[in-house]
Each structure stands twice: as structure tokens, then as C-alpha cells.
Structure 1
Amino acid sequence: MKSSVILLFLLFILSPYSYSFNDDSANSTFWQRLMKEQSYINLQKGILYMQNNRYREASIEFSKAIDKNPDSFAYTMYGASLYWLGEIKGSIEQYDQALKLDEKNSTAWQLRGISEARIGDINSAMDNFLKSLKLDYKRGDINMNIASVYFSLGKVDDSIFYIKQALKYEPSNPLYHYQFGLINFYLERYEEAAENFKKAISIYSNYEEAVLWLALSMEKIGNNEEALKMYMKAISIKPMDFFARYRAAKILLSKGKRADALKQIRESFYLNPNNSEGGVSLFLSYGNSKNESEEKNVSFKNSSISEIYKNLSKTSQDEEINFSLDIAIAQKPNLEEASEGKLKLALKKAALNRKYISRDYVIPAGSKEEREKLIEKYLKEIDSEIMNDSNYDYRVNFSMNTKKVKNKEESPSAVYLPRNIGNEMGLWIYGNSWINIIEDDIENIPQKDDELYDLLYALAYILYGDGEKS
């Protein structure tokens, strides 16, 4: 019975879309059933804290539950709470304890694989996922994670097989349709990709990433009217999506709607950082930089990370910081292969070796020392993932919003928050990044004596992280 409770709970917390349904009575019934299955008050309290994103309190309750009765379920839940707090190595230790007590705990194998992948050990992650799948082959999220690993290894056919398995067992999960769309877009199957993205949006209408990639697919098909509609919808969902604004401006300019195009470009430059929350909003983009940098005795391998540290450290102590980092790391094409007349093959291999990292963080209002400690911790995590290798290019996009916090209770207890949209405790298939689209654009800038076009491509270079050319 306990294993069924673990499965039900984890399927609930692993799905970022559960909150999109408005049936509160159904959710209440679920938690009531779950409570009846659990005899330990600390586990009950911990699960409720997890439901409400209060991960620090949840971890304390799960720790107490382990002290009272150290079973596999308690260790698994404790590990999950640590993962959400950004304590990845600690989460792995707890999953190991869970598996010592029950080696058939498929959820512990699955979550252990996610943590291993997060720290970059893909082979160990795959081993964990396959063990989990052997125990519970109908889990869509396990199949999804295996698909992610295979895609990162360039095994596209295997990746497609497992993403189809995920959809077979969870056909109503919008994430899986979105990921299948990214694979088809990468394979230049744009009409199929568009259908995947449409399906994802039909299930979750505010899925901004799916809306954005549907717009890009429509552009590839040649339907600019529909593409523009989707870009505008993406902007309405996420006003600070400056890439969507850039693409919308590009189409508007091509249609002769110069005033509308200028409006989108002007909004993208966002010259006034003050926002409605009484704080500031900021978007920055950086390109390659391997110079070690030091700020206030904090050492980073990459000067771009040092610049981000400076921006975060300058915020007021009474402001909660929400910041996001999107990083694309790309292997440069093999010049020897290219010189042999195999340029397309070299570019394909390089594309498959791309790595995309997305992180969302919250830094609570508090003392200067506490905040700088958290900022340093999470930026060093990112800093370690950026390859300082002449064979790789990278792009770092940083966005930040702050808001005034009236009292300490308003500040969240979790300092690391996974993406609101996406496989929140899993892996993404990153078949593409919008940075690739920008690259194509700046390589084919039309020669026009037009200041508005100059402004448009200045924005493109800013998004790409090349301030000098901008």
C-alpha cells in the first residue's frame, strides 16, 4: 500500500500542471486519502508543506519522521525536499538510504537519476532511470527522462521511442507533447512540430514556451500571420520575453507596420527598470568570456557570472529577488570534418553536443551577509557548469525581478525554485534554443539603409550577448 502512496504523491508533485485544474474538491479528496494512508504525523505535515512549496519546513518534518521510523518512504521524501532546496548531493545521500531499505523503490531510483543528471553525471542518471523503469515501466516521467538522456547523446531514434512511450502512458501531459515538438523541430519536421505544440497548448493554454515554439514553427512553414498571433500571445503571457518581441517586430517590419514594430523594439530595450512591485526588472545577455574575475573576494571562472553577481548584490536588503539564468553551451564544428566537404555533418554533430541550462532562483529579503552567501552559492553552481574550453561557445541570458517585502513572513522559504513550466523534478529535452534562431538571423542580416532595421538587429545582437556589435 505504501508504494502506491509514494507513486500517487510523486506523480502529483512532479506535474507542474496539476495546479491548472480548478477542481479544489478533487485535490482535497486526494490529500484526505493520502493522509489516511500515512500513520505518521510528521510525514503528513511534510507532504502538506511540499504541496504548498514550503520545502524547508517539509525537510524538517521528513527528518523528524526518519528519527521516529527510518523507512524508505521517509528517506525518499526527505531527499525530494532537499532537491527542491538545491541540496543536490544531500538528496542523493537520502535516496541511497531509501534504496538500502527497499531496492525496489522505483521512485527513489527515478529521483536519484534526476539528481545525478543535475550534477552532470549522465551515465549514472541513465542507469538509475533504467532501474526505475524496470520496476515501473508505465511511468511517463521515467520514459521522458530516458528520452532526454538519449537525445543529449545524439541517439534521436531512441529518444523518439521513449517520448512516444511517455505519451502512450500519459497522453494528457502537455510537457511531453512540447518535448516531442522540440525533437521534430530539430529534425526540421516543422508541420509535425506545430501539431505537437498545438496539442500541448490545447491542454495548457498558458504554456508560454509551447506558444513561442509554435510561432517559430509557423514561421518555418511560411505562415507569418499565425506566427505573429502566437508571438503576441507569448508576449501577453510573459511580457519580458524579449525574444518573442524581437520576432514579432521582425514580422511587423516585413509587413510595413513600422510603428507596431518600433513599439515591440522599444519595450525590449526596457530602459526604465522600475516595476509595479516597487522593485526593479533587468535583462542581460553575455557571450563567451573565460577570464577569471573576482568580486568582493568571490572568485568566478567567468566574468559574465561576476557581472551577474554585481547586479544581484546591489539590490536592496528589503527586496525579494527572483532571477533566471538561461545558458546555451555549444561545441564548435569540427574543422577537419568541415574541410573534407562534410560541413553539414559537422554542424549536426556540434548541434547534438549543445547543452542548455535553465535555472530559476529566489533570494529572500534578509541581511546583506545571508543574501550574498546565497547568491554566491547558486552562481558558483552555474559557474561550474559553463565550459571554459576554446572548443565551446556559450551564451548566458540573465533576467531579474525584485519586489519590496513588507515583512519577513512574505519571503519564501525555498531558495531554489524549478521552472514553473516544465518537468519540474526531471529533465528537459532541449532540441533547440532560441539562441540558434538569433544566430541564423545575424548571419543573414539584410543590407538595407533603414534605421529601424538597424535598431532591430541591434536588439538581436543584444539578445545574442554581443554588445559591441549591437
Structure 2
Amino acid sequence: MSELQKGIEYMQNHQFEEAAQSFNNYIEENPEDPVGFINFANLLVHLQEYDSAERFYNKALELEEKLPAAHYGLGNMYYEQEQYDQATKQFQDAMKQGLDDEDVYFMLGMSLLNQEMPKLALPYLQRASELSPEDIDIQFQYGLTLAYGNMIDEAYEQMNVVLSLDEEHSDAYYNKGVCLLYSEKPEEALVQFEKALAIQEEHLLAGNAKKQVEQLLQERDG
């Protein structure tokens, strides 16, 4: 087993000091191989040592100009620090250099969403949802993005997709309720808020929405 493989195994087992030593050994033995620098940088991001991680990613990119994994790693690093504009650029670079999986589409979509650009985020989250139909988080975030983009009917249906994967997803019920309120169906919305609260009693958003809808119905019905 190479020092690189050892380092990855140590990292997976949360043996971070041993992982760092193995990655360091690999870099000393293979100073021209960018893969060692990328893996060490990934470890540093996990440890929230962002400045050092950035240096290692950039060193990898000095050794080899086209390295989608380095751009993806930098994107994650910036995303963790809420530097979403820089994260966006790195994920875009990773895609331009050939990275084509649900993770990069999802992270690019989330970076744009965090910059309040739901319409730009939408195609990337849609693609992530197509590539990973069983991933509950991806499916849920795609549904939220549809809602943020005022595609209310589509968002409602997407929350049903989430519930087909996890019937105890309280946030999906809550968001179905919000969609129904937008569609001026308060009685049906109330049912969804109650379902969310049955699963998660302390769901503050659903609790507040339930009170508001009950008050609305009371005033309307006199």
C-alpha cells in the first residue's frame, strides 16, 4: 500500500495525524505529483486549516494546470467559509475541466443559491437531482430552489418526491404547506403544517405557520 493510500485510509478512519504524516511522506517521495498535494489539502480543509489548504491546492495547480479535483477542493473550501462567489468560480472551473458528477452540480447550485440567484442555480440542482435520484438532500434543495424561483406547482411536486424517499421529512411537509398557501389553499396547507409538527414537535416554522393559518381561517369564517 502506498503512502497515499495509507493517508486516505487514515483519513477515512479519522486518524488525522497519521493521515498528515502519510500524505507528507508521499509528497516527499513524489514532489512532482499534484495528487499528494490535493489529498493533503482535502485533509487540511477537514481540519479547517484553510490558509494552508489553499496553498496546497495552488501548489497542485502549479504542477498541473488542468486539475478539476483541485478546483473542486478549492470550491468546497471557499463554500465552507461562505465565500460563495469564489466557490462558484472554482466549481465552474472544475466543470470546464471535465468534472461531471452530482457533487459538483449540487455545490455549484448551492453556491449560486446562497448568492440569491435561484434561477441561475436551478439547472445545476436539477442536473444533480437527475444524477442522484435517491439523494434526499439534493432532492430537497432542488425543491426549495424551485420554490425560490416562484415555480410553486413544481416545488410542491418535488416535495412529494422527497417524501417518497423519506416519509418522515418534516421540512418537506412544511414546504408543501407553504406552496399550498401560495396557491390560496389554507385548509390544505394547515394539514401539511400539522403533519410536520407530528413528526417534529419543535418545528418552529411549521408551528408559527399553523397559528397564522388558524387565525386566518377563524377571521375568514367569522
TM range (shorter): 0.7 to 0.9
Q: What's the C-alpha RMSD, in Å, of the aligned pairs? A: 3.0
Instruction: Give 1:146's match in structure 2, choosing from 61, 64, 74.
Output: 74
Residue 51 of structure 2 is matched in structure 1 by 123
Change (3 A) 1:100 1:142: same
The separation in 2 between residues aligned to 1:258 and 1:190, in whole angstroms, is 24
Supply the AA of the counterpart residue of 2:212. Answer: K
The separation in 1 between residues aligned to 2:193 and 2:82, in whole angstroms, is 40
Change (3 A) 1:263 1:158: closer
Residue 116 of structure 2 is matched in structure 1 by 188
The separation in 2 between residues aligned to 1:167 and 1:99, in whole angstroms, is 26
Residue 196 of structure 2 is matched in structure 1 by 265
Residue 241 of structure 1 is matched in structure 2 by 169
Supply the AA of the counterpart residue of 1:231. Answer: M
Does 1:211 pair with 2:139?
yes
Aligned residue runs from structure 1 range 321-336, under 5 A: none
The separation in 1 between residues aligned to 2:126 and 2:113, in whole angstroms, is 13
Aligned residue runs from structure 1 range 419-434, under 5 A: none
Residue 6 of structure 2 is matched in structure 1 by 78
CA shift for structure 1 position 196:
1.2
Name the structure with the higher helix share. Answer: 2
Aligned residue runs from structure 1 range 266-305, under 5 A: 268-269=199-200
The separation in 1 between residues aligned to 2:80 and 2:144, in whole angstroms, is 22
Conserved 8 A contact 1:201-1:210:
yes
1:160-192 Cα shifts (integer Å, max 9, x gaps): 222111111235211111111111111211111
Name the structure with the higher strand share. Answer: 1
SS of residue paired to 1:103? coil
Identity %: 12
Supply the AA of the counterpart residue of 2:100. Answer: S
The separation in 2 between residues aligned to 1:78 and 1:240, in whole angstroms, is 39
Conserved 8 A contact 1:249-1:265:
no
Instruction: Give 2:32's match in structure 1, choosing from 97, 104, 115.
Output: 104
Aligned residue runs from structure 1 range 318-467, under 5 A: 448=212, 450=214
CA shift for structure 1 position 258:
5.2
Instruction: Give 1:134's match in structure 2, choosing from 62, 78, 86.
Output: 62
Aligned residue runs from structure 1 range 247-258, under 5 A: 247-252=175-180, 255=185, 256-257=187-188
Does 1:95 pair with 2:23?
yes
Unaligned runs of 5+ in 1: 1-61, 63-73, 271-283, 286-437, 454-470
Residue 179 of structure 1 is matched in structure 2 by 107
Supply the AA of the counterpart residue of 1:450. Answer: E
Change (3 A) 1:207 1:136: farther
Change (3 A) 1:258 1:190: closer
CA shift for structure 1 position 155:
4.7
Supply the AA of the counterpart residue of 1:230. Answer: Q
1:296-345 Cα shifts (integer Å, max 9, x gaps): xxxxxxxxxxxxxxxxxxxxxxxxxxxxxxxxxxxxxxxxxxxxxxxxxx
CA shift for structure 1 position 251:
3.0
Conserved 8 A contact 2:132-2:138:
no
Does 1:227 pair with 2:155?
yes
TM-score, L = length of structure 2: 0.81
Following TM superposition, where does structure 1 have runs of at least 4 consecutive aligned residues deviating by more than 6 angstroms?
A: none
Conserved 8 A contact 1:200-1:207:
no
1:262-313 Cα shifts (integer Å, max 9, x gaps): 663255238xxxxxxxxxxxxx99xxxxxxxxxxxxxxxxxxxxxxxxxxxx
CA shift for structure 1 position 249:
3.4
CA shift for structure 1 position 193:
1.1
Conserved 8 A contact 1:262-1:452:
no
Supply the AA of the counterpart residue of 2:192. Answer: A
Residue 158 of structure 1 is matched in structure 2 by 86
Instruction: Give 2:41's match in structure 1, choosing from 104, 108, 113.
Output: 113
Conserved 8 A contact 1:249-1:264:
no
Does 1:197 pair with 2:125?
yes
1:446-470 Cα shifts (integer Å, max 9, x gaps): 97372899xxxxxxxxxxxxxxxxx
The count of residues paired between Structure 1 and Structure 2 equals: 213
Higher RCO (CA-CA < 8 Å; seq separation 6+):
1
The separation in 1 between residues aligned to 2:119 and 2:61, in whole angstroms, is 31
The separation in 2 between residues aligned to 1:146 and 1:134, in whole angstroms, is 14
Unaligned runs of 5+ in 2: 218-222
Change (3 A) 1:172 1:120: closer
Change (3 A) 1:196 1:450: same
